[in-house]
Chain A
Amino acid sequence: MLDINTIRKDFPILDQKVNGQKLIYFDNAATSQTPNQVVDSIVDYYKRTNSNIHRGNHKLSIQATTAYEDVRKKLHKYFNSRLPQEIIFTSGTTQSINIITLGYTDLLTSKDEVIVSEMEHHSNIVPVQMLCERTGAKLNVIPMDNQGNLILKEFDKFISEKTKLVFVSHVSNALGTVNPISYIINKSHEVGAKVLIDGAQGASHFEIDFQKLDIDYYTVSAHKMCGPTGTGILYGKEELLNKLSPWHGGGEMIDEVSFEKTTYGELPHKFEPGTPNIAGVIAFGAAIEYMDNIGLDNIQAHEDELLKYCTQELKEIEGLKIYGEAKNKIAVISFNVEGIHHYDLGSLLDQFGVAVRIGHHCAQPVMNYFKIPGTVRISFSFYNTKEEIDLMIKALKRAITMLQ
């Protein structure tokens, strides 16, 4: 059991009024809130340690480098990668995915095939489409059913010796579906295809063991797991990352530079050109520590309870339809109310102090599947409570009455 009242003291942002009402923050799938411990780590870094890393030879630079590299080691242990250098620091999931799609430009031809799923976030669709346009590779799309599950029979049909890469999200941001990534990875590996798992919505909810799941590539955004924005990781198996061309050139990523020939550095530096987001990475370390202390098992149990309770309450509301009812889903609920536009509901909920997301959630193919322009999306984190759900339901009912 989590002691939510104590936990909430770490998040002063939650204790405020917006539009004159008590804030209820239910937009955690877009960005989670940042506890004091993480904010303090950023402040401390700039007050005491700020210095450029790797190249410096003075005390502060050594301290900054050690703190930065310690986070890499921490994430390596946390996610159980084989080597620390398999953890590449990026600006977040979007950049991580683009590093892979750019890296494969020279490795694919028009004879190859790539698979994505219909429920991906645009950041796991557009870079893949661009890769296919550059290389001529064929793009196959795994469809989903009306509960929001991927249709694996169709995935099986696409998998062949021609398949080189598969891009699937761990968890759908629009529907909350947890995808069967083990099945997809194993099936892909049978034909030698590599799999990228977009973990933007996954890493904040589950313990993930990169080696045990035999994951080729995994992407994480720190700001979805109590960390700062602009920081994330790309995980890749060493032997795979070594084969990829660097995506950007610059300082820090080289072995030797001359006008005759420049050679690139080893992992992880090959993929980390320029001065990185040092404070962000250090704060990401603090965020992982914070979540680890609470325990992902506890987090998951509490969020599941909120999901069940809220789903039940929402279903009592006449004309309300939930999109995405997979058996295995995280605490994300997308819905619409008959005859009311999601924009109107979202605007009124905002006036009641309830922060939700409205729109297509950067997953237009999902909206096209359901033939809707968008939804209202509620998403919970471990610091949310049933009392907040009660207040939200009350606000929602009042908004519906006003709009009908």
Chain B
Amino acid sequence: MTDMLAIQDEIVAEFSSFDNWADRYEYMIELGKSLPLIDPKYKVDNNLIKGCQSNVWLHSETNDGKLIFTADSDAILTKGIIAILIRVFSNQDPDSIMEAKTDFIDKIGLKNHLSPIRANGLLSMIKELKMYAVKSKTRSN
């Protein structure tokens, strides 16, 4: 497990190397293609995140006290966003996930390119990731 803040710094550094939007978007598309895909059997309505303009499915499993996230979306840019989030949130313990700060999102300039509706979708994703951590903790107690 790498420290969540270290991963966030890494992402911020990657994004700051682009000086135009097209490169930044192309990188997001690349990240979208590398998203750890959800098992088709979990790609069900129950795992859909509400508040996104495209469909986003999210699933989590626990491995050795850590949460492993997988996801999918029908839009590639959305897959890119969720891939960034999963890189930060996956393979962490529930406490770290629950307490995680997410100001790195502002730092990578992503929000400037999201309309309020899309930004809401991003917040819904973060909320959902944290909810999985809460649920996992409640179960283990």
Give the residue of B21, B29, B75, B113 whose beta carbon is less than 8 angstroms from that of A343: B75
**A257 within 8 A of partner (CB):** no
**A373 within 8 A of partner (CB):** yes
Given the known A-B contacts A343-B53, A359-B53, are A351 and B77 also in contact in the complex, defined by CB atoms under 8 Å?
no
Q: Is the pair A347, B22 in contact by a Cβ cutoff of 8 Å?
A: no
Contact with B along A363-391 (1 / 0, CB 8 A): 00000000001000000000000000000
Q: Is the pair B21, A19 in contact by a Cβ cutoff of 8 Å?
A: yes
Q: How far is the CA of A347 from the CA of B25 in the complex (A)?
A: 10
Q: Is the pair A402, B53 in contact by a Cβ cutoff of 8 Å?
A: no
Given the known A-B contacts A351-B113, A402-B29, A403-B29, are A344 and B21 also in contact in the complex, defined by CB atoms under 8 Å?
no
Q: Is the pair A343, B25 in contact by a Cβ cutoff of 8 Å?
A: no
**A348 within 8 A of partner (CB):** yes
Residues 328 to 380 of chain A near chain B (Cβ within 8 Å): 340-341, 343-344, 347-348, 351, 358-359, 373
* Interface residue ranges, A against B (CB under 8 Å): 19-20, 340-341, 343-344, 347-348, 351, 358-359, 373, 402-403
Query: Closest 5 interchain pairs by CB?
Result: A341-B75, A343-B75, A343-B54, A344-B75, A344-B77
Tell me the minimal C-beta distance from A18 to chain B in angstroms: 12
Q: How far is the CA of A359 from the CA of B52 in the complex (A)?
A: 12
Residues of B within 8 A of A343 (CB): 53-54, 75, 77-78
**B14 within 8 A of partner (CB):** no
Q: How far is the CA of A282 from the CA of B74 in the complex (A)?
A: 46
Further pairs besides A341-B54, A343-B53, A373-B74: 6, Cβ < 8 Å: A341-B75, A343-B78, A347-B25, A347-B118, A351-B22, A359-B53
Q: How far is the CA of A348 from the CA of B21 in the complex (A)?
A: 10
Residues of B within 8 A of A341 (CB): 54, 74-76, 78
Q: Is the pair B22, A402 in contact by a Cβ cutoff of 8 Å?
A: yes
Contact with A along B73-116 (1 / 0, CB 8 A): 01111100000000000000000000000000000000001000
Q: How far is the CA of A358 from the CA of B55 in the complex (A)?
A: 14
Q: How far is the CA of A358 from the CA of B78 in the complex (A)?
A: 15
Give the residue of A358, A359, A402 whose beta carbon is less than 8 angstroms from that of B26: A402
Tell me the minimal C-beta distance from A351 to chain B in angstroms: 5
Residues of B within 8 A of A373 (CB): 54-55, 74
Residues of B within 8 A of A344 (CB): 75-78
Q: Is the pair A403, B76 in contact by a Cβ cutoff of 8 Å?
A: yes
Q: List 13 A-B contacts (CB under 8 A).
A: A19-B21, A19-B113, A20-B21, A340-B76, A341-B74, A343-B77, A344-B75, A347-B25, A347-B118, A348-B25, A348-B77, A351-B25, A402-B29
Residues of A within 8 A of B26 (CB): 402
Q: How far is the CA of A402 from the CA of B74 in the complex (A)?
A: 16
Q: How far is the CA of A359 from the CA of B21 in the complex (A)?
A: 23
Give the residue of B25, B75, B118 whose beta carbon is less than 8 angstroms from that of A402: B25
Residues of A within 8 A of B118 (CB): 347
Closest to A402 in B: B26
Q: How far is the CA of A358 from the CA of B54 in the complex (A)?
A: 11
Tell me the minimal C-beta distance from A339 to chain B in angstroms: 10
Closest to B117 in A: A359
Residues of A within 8 A of B74 (CB): 341, 373
Closest to B26 in A: A402
Residues of B within 8 A of A402 (CB): 22, 25-26, 29
Q: How far is the CA of A373 from the CA of B29 in the complex (A)?
A: 21
Given the known A-B contacts A341-B54, A402-B26, A403-B29, are A347 and B77 also in contact in the complex, defined by CB atoms under 8 Å?
yes
Closest to B76 in A: A344
Residues of A within 8 A of B29 (CB): 402-403
Residues 13 to 29 of chain B near chain A (Cβ within 8 Å): 21-22, 25-26, 29
Residues of B within 8 A of A347 (CB): 25, 77, 113, 118
Tell me the minimal C-beta distance from B74 to chain A in angstroms: 5
Q: Is the pair A351, B76 in contact by a Cβ cutoff of 8 Å?
A: no
Q: How far is the CA of A220 from the CA of B118 in the complex (A)?
A: 30
Residues of A within 8 A of B55 (CB): 373
Tell me the minimal C-beta distance from A364 to chain B in angstroms: 14
Residues 115 to 129 of chain B near chain A (Cβ within 8 Å): 118
Residues of A within 8 A of B25 (CB): 347-348, 351, 402
Closest to A21 in B: B21
Tell me the minimal C-beta distance from A355 to chain B in angstroms: 11
Residues of A within 8 A of B21 (CB): 19-20, 351
Tell me the minimal C-beta distance from A385 to chain B in angstroms: 25
Closest to A359 in B: B53
Contact with A along B40-55 (1 / 0, CB 8 A): 0000000000000111
Residues of B within 8 A of A351 (CB): 21-22, 25, 113
Tell me the minimal C-beta distance from B29 to chain A in angstroms: 6
Tell me the minimal C-beta distance from A343 to chain B in angstroms: 4
Tell me the minimal C-beta distance from B90 to chain A in angstroms: 23
Tell me the minimal C-beta distance from A73 to chain B in angstroms: 41
Tell me the minimal C-beta distance from A307 to chain B in angstroms: 27
